[in-house]
Amino acid sequence: MPTLADIKGVGLGLKRELIPQIQSLYQTPLLSNLAFVEIAPENWIGAGGKAASDLAWFVERFPIVCHGLCLSLGGPDPVNTDFLKQVKQFLEFNKIPLYTEHLSYCSDIQHGKAGYLYDLLPIPFTEEAVHYVAKRIRQTQDMLGQRIAVENASFYVAAPISTMDELTFIKAVLEEADCWLHLDINNIYVNSVNFGFNAHEFLRGIPGERIVYNHVAGHLQVQPDLLVDTHGENIIDPVWALLDEAYQLFGTFPTLLERDLNIPALPALIHEIDKIAAYQARHQLKQTKVA
């Protein structure tokens, strides 16, 4: 059964249009750097027929991580324990060693019922929110019987009631919840442009010992000072530079390429996967020489 140690190298988000391409190219040189895949459990829990057989094919051949979409760790409604029971069963059945979620919220209560939104919204950076979110993360970990990781999110409007900056908030939540960090390099860059801070200084403040794996992606530039985290474009040079520095600071942690929109044919994505692998190999060589 795969363990957390088996999540290494370079991964790719598993989109349905990529499944037949990966299956046809499996064990060919073109896919030599694809080491793991990521799925959203909401898209696969309860799947039957061809979807179930496709998932079983990947379970037998790749380590898999689950990156959730709807747990709404910062939301006002109670943690969805029925959903977490399904997640626990799904992880166990499919031998998936890691579950992560966004450090954000995507639900609201109206007329006494929780409704889900179509975006991930920022949590106010306050001490009260730290305690609230950390408690919900601990509840999630207790229900799943394992530690989870939370991802630093991109956002576009700062909550006016915030009393601390984003990095201070993230570090406080990680410490109080005693969870891992699912780092997202592109989100650091997107937020740095949208809110005018130095992305490299932010990166240097990240608690590297809590990083379990990382996302890297492209984004849409709407205006010079407004980026949208679409995962629909190629990775740009400033994001590559951040990834390079992250490996230098924290070692070559597992890194996954996200592509959710404008998905090209697999060989085009493999070009970026190979580039991530080249960065990792270069830093591993440097670390070996130092050791």
Give the integer Cα–Cα distance in Å for 169 and 180.
Answer: 14
Predicted confidence at residue 187, as pLDDT, reads 96
**CA dihedral angle for residue 222, residue 276, residue 24, residue 266, rounded to 10 degrees:** 20
Give the integer Cα–Cα distance in Å for 118 and 120.
Answer: 7
Both tokens of residue 251?
Answer: 């070692």
Q: Which helix (DSSP H) or strand (DSSP E) does residue 106 occupy?
A: strand 105-110
Greatest Cα pair distance, the chain, in angstroms, is 62
Are 185 and 214 in contact, with CB atoms under 8 Å apart?
A: yes
Predicted confidence at residue 119, as pLDDT, reads 54
Predicted confidence at residue 134, as pLDDT, reads 97
With the C-alpha atoms ordered 78, 170, 159, 128, is the resulting torsion angle positive or negative? positive
How many other CB atoms are there within 10 angstroms of residue 194's CB atom? Answer: 20
Predicted confidence at residue 106, as pLDDT, reads 60
Give the CATH number of domain 4-290.
3.20.20.150
Are 233 and 264 in contact, with CB atoms under 8 Å apart?
A: no
Whole-structure pTM value: 0.93
Q: How far is CA 99 from CA 85, 109, 207, 269, in A?
A: 13, 25, 19, 24
How many other CB atoms are there within 10 angstroms of residue 112's CB atom? Answer: 5
Low-confidence ranges of the chain (pLDDT < 50): 109-118
Predicted confidence at residue 160, as pLDDT, reads 86
The CB-side HSE value for 242 (13 A sphere, CA atoms) comes to 29
